[in-house]
Amino acid sequence: MRVIVENDYQSMSRKAALLLASQVNLKPNSVLGLATGSTPEGMYQELVKMYHRGEIDFSEVVTFNLDEYYKLPPENEESYHYYMHENFFKHVNLHPENTNIPRGMVEKVETECWYYEEKIRRAGGIDLQVLGIGSNGHIGFNEPGDRLNVTTKLVELTEETIESNSRFFDSLDKVPRKAISVGMATILKARRIILLASGKNKAEAIKKTINGYVDTRIPSSLLQTHPETTLIIDEEAASLL
Ligand code: PGA
């Protein structure tokens, strides 16, 4: 596991964008695994700037997002469909048919989960997976527990995650309690992984990700088993290392 410590959020975002751009420039038809949340917003802004400067072309890129809330319509401003469209997709030349996000409104959720995995497989697997991290060590919505999902599944969010994500919703009871999330093996099968973290509230999780045992109660610790993982973190997130 490689760890890059940047001074602040801005330089963390820029570094992440540079690594992602290198991937796309080396392999224009890359399959990217994408994350939502406040952490990657700066990276998306940097990528949009690079696109406008002609430094990156997304016309052949295929993307798969990590997760989506269950039963939150895509037009809801807190859905990850909306987030991706507003923060990234609408600003660059990705073909809409090449962007994939689990569909939280489906009736047959097991079929959707199976189909999502199958689409990733048919695309040739993920070349570069971008991850954020929860303060509880979750990646995607793989929450700490005695067991972790291998593949894409409907998951129950922990109280900690619901509480943390309530900052985006009008009230706590508006936060969906379930989500569709890709599983741990789906993430670990990516050829390269970059994990972004910023701020003191991520420092404990980062310490356990790097120095702790591999433990299902810290899902991010499983990244220790992956041969090509790079953590890009700011000084605050690195403060307990
Ligand atoms: P954040 O969320 O980037 O909004 O902190 C990260 C996560 O929960 O995975």
Q: Report residue 163's pLDDT band, with 50, 70 and 90 as the boundaries.
A: very high
Q: Which ligand 1 atom lies nearest to the CA of residue 165?
A: 4
What is the 62 CA–ligand 1 centroid distance (Å)?
Answer: 23
Whether 72 shows a pLDDT value over 90: the answer reads: yes
pLDDT at position 212: 79
- Transcribe the chain into DSSP letters: -EEEEESSHHHHHHHHHHHHHHHHHH-TT-EEEE--SSTTHHHHHHHHHHHHTTS---TT-EEEESEEETT--TTSTTSHHHHHHHHTGGGS---GGGEE---TT-S-HHHHHHHHHHHHHHTT--SEEEE---TT--BTTB--SS---SS-EEEEPPHHHHHHHGGGSSSGGGS-SEEEE--HHHHHTSSEEEEEE-SGGGHHHHHHHHHS--BTTBGGGGGGG-TTEEEEEETTTTTT-
The residue contributing the CA closest to ligand 1 atom 2 is 37
For residue 113 and ligand 1, the question of a CB distance below 6 A is answered with no
Which amino acid type is present at position 25? N
> What average pLDDT does the segment 122-142 reach?
97
Our answer on whether the CB atom of 42 is closer than 6 Å to any ligand 1 atom is no
Residues in Cβ contact with 89 at an 8 Å cutoff, skipping those fewer than 6 apart: 96, 99
Is the predicted pLDDT of residue 193 greater than 90, yes or no?
yes
pLDDT at 189 over 90: yes
With a 6 Å cutoff on the Cβ, whether 38 touches ligand 1 is yes
Average pLDDT rounded to a whole number, residues 169-178? 94
Average pLDDT, the chain: 97
Share of the chain above pLDDT 70, in %: 100
Residues taking part in catalysis: 67, 136, 138, 143
In ligand 1, which atom is closest to the CA atom of 199? 5
User: Is residue 59 lining ligand 1, measured as CB closer than 6 Å?
Assistant: no
Cβ of 32 less than 6 Å from ligand 1:
no
> Distance (Å, rounded) from C-alpha 162 to C-alpha 177?
7
Residue 123 is predicted with a pLDDT of: 98
- As a whole number of Å, the end-to-end CA separation of the chain is 14
Q: Is 137 in the pocket of ligand 1 (CB under 6 A)?
A: no
Mutual angle of helices 80-87 and 41-52, in 10-degree steps: 40
Sheet containing 178-181: order of strands: 67-69, 178-181, 153-156
Gap from CA of 219 to ligand 1 centroid (Å) = 14
Q: How far is the CA of 227 from the centre of ligand 1 (A)?
A: 23
Is the CB of 201 within 6 Å of ligand 1?
no
Q: Residue 141 Cα, ligand 1 centroid: separation in angstroms?
A: 10
| Cβ neighbours for 227, distance < 8 A, ≥ 6 positions apart | none
